[in-house]
Amino acid sequence: MSGRRLREAVKSEFGSHGTAGMDVVIAGLCNVYTHYITTYEEYQVQRYEAASTIYGPHTLSAYIQLYRGLARAIAMNTVQDLPSGPEPPLFNVTSLTLVPAVTPDRAPGNKTFGDVLQEANVQYRVGEVAAVTFVGANPRNSAENTTEHNFLTVERYTNVTGSWQVVQNDASWDTRFYWTKGSSGQSNVTIEWHIPSSTESGIYRIQYFGHYRRLLKQFYPFEGTSAAFEITNL
Cα(195)–Cα(189) distance, rounded to whole angstroms?
19
Long-range CB pairs of 67-74, under 8 A, 24+ apart, other chains included: 67/6, 67/9, 67/10, 67/13, 68/9, 68/10, 68/13, 71/10, 71/13, 71/14, 72/13, 72/17, 74/14
Angle at 116 between CA 170 and CA 233, to 5 degrees: 60
Cα(67)–Cα(132) distance, rounded to whole angstroms?
59
Cα(233)–Cα(147) distance, rounded to whole angstroms?
37
Cα(60)–Cα(37) distance, rounded to whole angstroms?
6
Residues 6+ apart with CB under 8 A from 112: 135, 222
157 annotated to bind ligand: no
Cα(180)–Cα(174) distance, rounded to whole angstroms?
20
Nearest to 178 by CA among 220, 222, 221, 129: 129
Helices H, strands E: what count in the chain?
5, 10
- Which residue positions form the known binding site? 36
- Which residue positions form the known binding site for Zn(2+)? 36
